Amino acid sequence: MFRFFLKRLGLAALVAMTVSLISFSLLFLAGDPAVALAGEGATEIDIEAIRTRYGFDRPIPMQYLSWLGNALSGDFGESYYFKTPVVHLITEKLPVTMSLGLSAITFAILLAIPLGVAAAVRPNSLIDRFALFISVIGQAMPSFWFGLIMIVVFAVNLGWVPVSGSDSWRHFILPTIVLGYYATPAIMRLTRAGMLEVLRADYIRTARAKGLRPGKVLFKHALRNAVIPVVGLAAVQLGFMLGGSVIIESIFALNGAGFLAFESISRNDFPVVQALILVFSLIYVLLTLLADLLNAWLDPRIRVA
Amino acid sequence: MTSIDNNGRLAGPTPAQLMRRRAFSHFGFLIGGGVLALIILAAIFAPLLTSQDPYAQDLSQRILRPFFMDGGSWDHPLGTDHLGRDYLARLLYGARISLIIGLVTALISGVIGTAMGVCAGYFGGRVDTVVMFLITVRLSMPVVLVALAVVALFGGSLFVVVSVLGLLLWDRFAVVMRSSTMQIRGLDYVTSAQALGCSTPRIIMTEIMPNVLNNLIVIVTLEMAHAIILEAALSFLGLGVQPPLPSWGLMISEGKDMLFFESWLITVPGIALFVLIFAINLLGDGIRDVTAPENRN
């Protein structure tokens, strides 16, 4: 277990390093950042001043190393737009995005696992077809459009929830449903497939033959084993959701890290964008690492590999 | 069904005939393929289907309602937008953008992902380790965020959007091609080609590729749909293709300001997007069932 842990930790660190290199290089792909920052009508002297002020005059590998060194100690530089440290901006907005992500994945799991189990217990039944219908629709409906339709129906026409903003928990209802809906099909299909396989296993037949109550067989014996891969998938989906929060938060004007990312991109505020790409990637890397370890803990067969 | 023909050989349906039979009795394949074919034809022959110019503005004809609502007329069957441009014409010409984005992105990412996946699956060892690492790195990068940033840096032309999506969406190709190649790498016909002294490129092209083609086509349809949705989302956020191009995502974005009063402005292009993606997904599932019936669950 310890060796497995070390191996996965090393891989996660290497992935994080590579992502940091890519997110740093993005800034230099599009030409001279000093010229872009100075804006139109800037003189050569202005540009030179900006170059020295932000350290763009140093060799690029040097800039990367100093950026990485600062990032490791939690210093992502200063926002061009707000003139405040990027870390403060991110620590202020990230909780909103994290709560959105967590409530969305909870919503998805609460919807997907019961549906998946029901679909597996009665394959090709009405509920199985309904589950399939939900996932097929979800795959074809763009999230931003679904969000707008939800606003029209539930916020404007019915007036049940506020249209946009992030002041109370009621503002989170629609974004949670929209974001969570997109994680539902994958979790549901995996639950269904896992349950179908487990229900055929010998120990389930044994349990039934012993005369245990069907509910106990289903939830205590079958679901426990079928749900192991779902843990990993849910973690991965949560990671994808944080990326998807850029779109959802922009639609609902939810004041989180995704919205900050979108606004910073529109404002050419690159230190914030770089930092957010890195932070989102790091969270994803951590989540997959956690999922692997959790899987290995739940299912000892994985530890050998 | 099997009979003996005049030359005394066993004659049954060939595999190709069997496949055609499955295709023509598969509901999803027929519907998906049919709808997609209709959309492609509508996009190609857009100038024949409407006499209106998708770019022609007429400020005296702003936000006319479509024919199915009160006050609609057949002069502009789907009404006009906030600049008085014919909505049907924009929808038809917009299909071209979605289809181009889907096809070209799937082509770019397909070439990258297939090359990586087949190499990883065939050679294994270090090559596999490196490819798996690249896939992990790619998966840990937030696609929407990176795509938005790149489009903001390079400007929102069709070329930039297609390139950035093509360079980002290869992960599923690589994953699936890798595992498909691994499955057939050790089979007898590959071993015998190696024993015959065939060169590695020849083995990959003539033994491996034809046998992973079915899976490849299924991923092509999935990623086409993925790319079309992403382009619409980028354009919706204002960092995809730029006005006045009639991208469906842009149409939804422009209609958003009138969300409260004229919600059909976003429903019409939204439904168009939904139908296109739905058709591509149906076709993809259909192709999987038709080409590999043993993989059905």
Amino acid identity, position B238:
G
Which residue has 């540009």 as its token pair?
A47
Does A276 contact B145 at a Cβ distance shorter than 8 Å? Answer: yes
Distance from CA of A210 to the nearest CA of B (A): 30
In tens, the pLDDT along A115-156 reads: 999 898 888 888 888 888 888 888 888 889 999 888 888 887
CB contact set of A279 (below 8 Å; sequence gap of 6+): A90, A94, A257
**Tell me, what DSSP letter sits at residue A163?**
S
Q: What pLDDT, on a 0 to 100 scale, did the predictor assign at position A109?
A: 93
Q: What pLDDT, on a 0 to 100 scale, did the predictor assign at position A153?
A: 86
Which residue has 């069957």 as its token pair?
B77
Band of residue B178 on the pLDDT scale cut at 50, 70, 90: very high
Q: Does A28 have pLDDT greater than 60?
A: yes
Nearest residue, CB atoms, A142 vs list B144, B233, B256: B233
Q: Does A240 have pLDDT greater than 50?
A: yes
Band of residue B7 on the pLDDT scale cut at 50, 70, 90: low
Amino acid identity, position A254:
L
Query: Which chain B positions have a beta carbon within 8 Å of A143's beta carbon?
Result: 233
Amino acid identity, position B281:
N
**Tell me, what DSSP letter sits at residue B242?**
P
Q: How many residues in total does chain B contain?
A: 297
**Tell me, what DSSP letter sits at residue B141?**
S
Residue A77: HSE in the Cβ half-sphere, 13 Å Cα cutoff = 21
Here the tokens at position A13 are 């660190």
**C-alpha to C-alpha distance for A18 and B127, rounded to whole angstroms:** 18
Nearest residue, CB atoms, A265 vs list B143, B148, B259: B148
Does B133 contact A281 at a Cβ distance shorter than 8 Å? Answer: no
In tens, the pLDDT along A35-78 reads: 766 666 777 787 787 777 777 777 778 888 888 888 888 788 77
Nearest residue, CB atoms, A152 vs list B136, B263, B281: B263
In tens, the pLDDT along B112-134 reads: 999 999 999 999 899 999 999 99
Residue A294: φ, ψ to 5°: -65, -40
What pairs with residue B11 in β-bridges? B3
Of A81-90, A221-230, A248-257, B7-16, the one with minimum mean pLDDT is B7-16
Here the tokens at position B4 are 């003996």
What pairs with residue B86 in β-bridges? B80
DSSP assignment of A232-266, as one string?
A: HHHHHHHHHHHHHHHHHHHHHT--SHHHHHHHHHH
CB contact set of A161 (below 8 Å; sequence gap of 6+): A154, A155, A170, A171, A173, A174
Higher per-residue pLDDT: A189 or A36:
A189
* Helices marked H in chain A: 2-29, 33-38, 44-54, 60-72, 86-121, 126-140, 143-150, 173-181, 184-199, 202-209, 214-216, 224-226, 228-252, 257-266, 270-298
Across the range B27-44, mean pLDDT stands at 92
3-state secondary structure of B86: strand
**Tell me, what DSSP letter sits at residue A300?**
G
Percent over 90 (pLDDT), chain A: 14
Amino acid identity, position A5:
F
In tens, the pLDDT along B58-101 reads: 888 777 788 777 777 777 778 888 887 888 889 999 999 999 99
Across the range A204-223, mean pLDDT stands at 84
Largest CA distance in chain B: 78
B141 touches chain A (CB under 8 A): yes
Nearest residue, CB atoms, A277 vs list B142, B233, B260: B142
CB contact set of B78 (below 8 Å; sequence gap of 6+): B66, B67, B86, B87, B88, B91, B268
**C-alpha to C-alpha distance for B11 and B253, rounded to whole angstroms:** 59
Percent over 90 (pLDDT), chain B: 47
Which residue has 């006005």 as its token pair?
B243
For A197, name the nearest residue in chain B, comparing CA atoms only. B297
Across the range B265-277, mean pLDDT stands at 92
Residue A188: HSE in the Cβ half-sphere, 13 Å Cα cutoff = 28
Q: What pLDDT, on a 0 to 100 scale, did the predictor assign at position B297?
A: 43
For A276, name the nearest residue in chain B, comparing CA atoms only. B145
In tens, the pLDDT along B197-255 reads: 989 999 999 999 988 988 899 999 999 999 999 999 999 998 888 888 889 999 999 88
**C-alpha to C-alpha distance for B47 and A3, rounded to whole angstroms:** 65
Query: Which chain B positions have a beta carbon within 8 Å of A18's beta carbon?
Result: 133, 137
Query: Which chain B positions have a beta carbon within 8 Å of A276's beta carbon?
Result: 145
Band of residue A305 on the pLDDT scale cut at 50, 70, 90: very low
Q: Check the CA dihedral B288-B289-B292-B296 and report its sign.
A: positive
